[in-house]
Structure 1
């Protein structure tokens, strides 16, 4: 035997009222409502011009397979030594390290448009006293082993004493890559210390 409290009765009555009201408002959604209008929509066929207009106004699709971004082997760090003492850790003035790389893509009209970025750090060495260092960062894109984009950027990095390191970020927007489907596309990033 269950005993109903006034609160239980009120909640049951509210739930029943909500169910009845919901049923009244769903007629058009589940087949009720204006039959002539429903038949008109069911029999509608878009014209070729309407399809073309809809396609031209469609939002670009996010690429299902955005090209990988990789740090080029050997370019994940850079070192600057004083007095020509390359490799002598006691003479190191500063070093740069790439921490992370990322990208995102949009596909539209036979192009993959890529935004790509990298984060890293400059750290002063035992002989380092710089307040500013230029980090030379290169982004490149290869399609089937052939370079189709390559650009070097100088990223100024300010180091404020007493800190001995500083972070940097570089982002490149809207690099357009022709895309037919099936190509092997790789995005490369790294330090490029060549003059």
Structure 2
């Protein structure tokens, strides 16, 4: 849906005020406690269970006594916590901002089976319309990676996800994503604590995949 970006100054002022207020509320929630320590409510509560104060979950469905594995924390990559889009050819700031997406809460659950870990990583955030007006549908690109952190970080798993959000009239709409296919080999006990679930916005995920060349 195409929106007329030439709005009256009063309309822009109202939109900008709504965007700033909503953005401040979400950012405040992010700063209150680390993202990995938070759990979802409502529909996510049945999947992850408990509240924000519960301890880090251990991996279930496996011989915990043998490996003493725990579910890695979820960490938002530096510089990838927000995703902003401006008018064509304009910087995504001020009156040229169309919308901004922020991550608010995360949760995770791990299952161990035959030496492989399947992780369900939940991400919840919000799409906030900017002064220039957001489109009717916004695609949110997120990358999830399993990394063995250290002096030389090693990426064990990585995948980009996309979720579509229908914008409402109030200009601030929540989004959510739960991965179902993050699978990787269980780490050994000596490096288990070095594993981290990294998440963040990845605009490259919205680019179309290159067409494969036909064989002659």
TM-score of the pair, normalised by structure 2: 0.58
Partner SS for 2:135 = coil
Cα displacement (A) at 1:114: 1.0
1:153 to 2:161 alignment = yes
Cα displacement (A) at 1:129: 3.8
- The answer for unaligned runs of 5 or more in structure 1 is 1-58
Stretches of 4+ moved more than 4 A in 1?
Answer: 61-64
Which of structures 1 and 2 has the larger relative contact order (alpha carbons within 8 angstroms, sep 6+)? 2
The structure richer in strand per residue is: 1
Cα displacement (A) at 1:88: 3.3
Q: CA RMSD in A?
A: 1.8
- Farther off after superposition, 89-98 or 135-144: 135-144
Match of 2:201 in 1: 191
Partner SS for 1:173 = coil
Match of 2:79 in 1: 74
- The answer for unaligned runs of 5 or more in structure 2 is 1-60, 208-216
Counterpart contact for 1:94–1:122, Cα < 8 Å: yes
Match of 1:7 in 2: none
1:138 to 2:143 alignment = yes
Q: How does 1:167-186 map to 2 (within 5 A)?
A: 167-179=174-186, 180-183=188-191, 184-186=194-196
Cα displacement (A) at 1:87: 4.6
Cα displacement (A) at 1:107: 2.4
Counterpart contact for 1:76–1:97, Cα < 8 Å: yes
Distance 1:115 1:90 in 2: 38
Counterpart contact for 2:142–2:161, Cα < 8 Å: yes
Counterpart contact for 2:69–2:189, Cα < 8 Å: no
Distance 1:139 1:83 in 2: 28
Distance 2:116 2:172 in 1: 39
Counterpart contact for 1:92–1:125, Cα < 8 Å: yes
Distance 2:73 2:158 in 1: 16
Partner SS for 2:179 = strand
Cα displacement (A) at 1:186: 0.8
Cα displacement (A) at 1:77: 0.3
Cα displacement (A) at 1:80: 0.6
Match of 2:120 in 1: 115
Counterpart contact for 1:61–1:108, Cα < 8 Å: no
